[in-house]
Amino acid sequence: MLKQQEAQAASPATTVDPIDGLETEEGVVSGVLLRALADVAKRYGVEPSALFDGDAHMLMTRDPIRIRIPLGNYRRLLERAVSLTGEPAIGLICGRHASESAFDLIAPLVAHVPTLRHALREVRQFQKLFFDGAYLHASERAGIARLRWEFPRAHTRTDHSIAEFLTAGLMRMLREFGCAPSELQTARFEHRCPPYRRLYAEAFEGRERFSQKWTGIECAAQVLDRPHLHNNPVLQALIHREAEELLSRLCRPMRLVDRLRVYLCNHPVSRVPEMPVAARDLGVSVRSLRRRLAEEGLSYRRLTQEIQRNQACVLLRNGELTLQGVADALGFEDTASFHRAFKRWTGLTAGEYRNSN
């Protein structure tokens, strides 16, 4: 699985480019996430050579940030890790208990900043170094800070694992910056409550909520500006410069329309944001977004319907999912709503499409 990426990872110039091909919409992860997964799997007696099917040598000998694999490959590794360890909560445990050294440059990048607000800026700026396709949105209102994760969905169990990993890692960072249990408001997850809820209660102080509209954490806004005990401006500046250099070598800027595609793929099909909301989240004006789309012969409505149709068709080709299961995975309240939408997108009923494939 990793061998196919060895040539690309050998030098910065030939690293997998998240702009070209499927990787743009699917997302790309670095070897940092693979090391964290291997770190936890080893605690269950699973050696890296077994987890990575003999390809562990590259992961252990190369700079992990320069190893870039498609998100789909990482999802398959998550499934393999669950199978080999027998631990369905592998994502949650990775976020909570993977050693800091497994995260390479990412851990020290936020360890010496003056405040949590500064740490969140670092995470957003350098997100592509470890997960190109995930985004952390931060907002404040009425004394509450909302930290919301977005990432590409595959509508499989691995969505839960990735949501667990990202949110547990965020909770870990909040604790490092002095967030007390009383200052944590909620830890929200879009998926339903899993059988191992007890582990969630341990991780999130019993404030976890399921079947929510977004994934992330709400906490008291005062936590964002609390002075950090381990602030070290000199060391932070050195690490920040190193991260900037790595980012410039590994990741070309993504075109606005490609960023929009990733953004839309991060949302349930039934809850696509209106164009002004998408423009705001992408940091551009509606006028600029409309102009860039027009340059490629697209409109916002046409692009959203294209992505909705594609995601629905992928799920319908999965014979193990019932039509109700497809509707649930796409975020529809009932199958009737899904059937109407699919007919509008394709001119076929969901059953007709499934029978023709």
Domains within the chain, CATH numbers bracketed: 3-245 (no CATH), 256-355 (1.10.10.60)
At 10, the pLDDT band (50, 70, 90 cuts) reads: very low
* pLDDT, mean of residues 229-239: 88
The lowest-confidence range among 33-42, 81-90, 114-123, 231-240 is 231-240
* pLDDT, mean of residues 122-132: 90
Q: What is the pLDDT of residue 9?
A: 37
Q: What is the pLDDT of residue 11?
A: 32
* pLDDT tens digits along 315-347: 887 777 788 888 887 778 888 888 898 888 888
Task: Please give the Cα distance from 305 to 316 (Å, whole number).
Answer: 16
Q: What is the pLDDT of residue 60?
A: 66
- The residue with greater pLDDT, 210 or 351, is 210
At 176, the pLDDT band (50, 70, 90 cuts) reads: very high
Q: What is the pLDDT of residue 281?
A: 84
Q: What is the pLDDT of residue 181?
A: 94
Q: pLDDT at residue 182 above 90? A: yes
Q: pLDDT at residue 106 above 90? A: no
Q: pLDDT at residue 102 above 80? A: yes
At 252, the pLDDT band (50, 70, 90 cuts) reads: low
Task: Please give the Cα distance from 356 to 351 (Å, whole number).
Answer: 9
Tell me the pLDDT of the chain averaged across its residues. 85
Q: What is the pLDDT of residue 21?
A: 33
* pLDDT, mean of residues 42-48: 93
Q: pLDDT at residue 266 above 60? A: yes
Q: Which residues of 246-257 are buried (b: 16+ CB within 10 A; e: fewer)?
A: beeebbeebebe
- The residue with greater pLDDT, 327 or 41, is 41
* pLDDT, mean of residues 193-201: 96
Q: What is the pLDDT of residue 61?
A: 62
Q: pLDDT at residue 286 above 90? A: yes
The answer to whether the predicted template modeling score (pTM) of the entire model surpasses 0.75 is no
Question: What is the share, in percent, of the chain residues with pLDDT greater than 90?
Answer: 47
Task: Please give the Cα distance from 326 to 212 (Å, whole number).
Answer: 18
Q: pLDDT at residue 20 above 70? A: no
At 17, the pLDDT band (50, 70, 90 cuts) reads: very low
Q: Cβ of 336: how many Cβ atoms within 10 Å?
A: 10
* pLDDT tens digits along 142-163: 999 999 999 988 878 899 999 9
SS3 200: helix
What lies within 8 Å, CB to CB, of 166 at 6+ separation is 95, 131, 134, 149, 151, 215
At 8, the pLDDT band (50, 70, 90 cuts) reads: very low
* pLDDT, mean of residues 158-181: 96
Q: pLDDT at residue 12 above 50? A: no
Q: pLDDT at residue 39 above 50? A: yes
Fill in the amino acid letter for 225: D
Q: pLDDT at residue 85 above 50? A: yes
Q: What is the pLDDT of residue 4?
A: 41
- The token duo for 53 is 């099917």
Q: pLDDT at residue 57 above 80? A: no
What lies within 8 Å, CB to CB, of 275 at 6+ separation is 286, 289, 290, 300
Q: pLDDT at residue 48 above 80? A: yes
Distance of CA 39 to the CA centre of its chain: 20
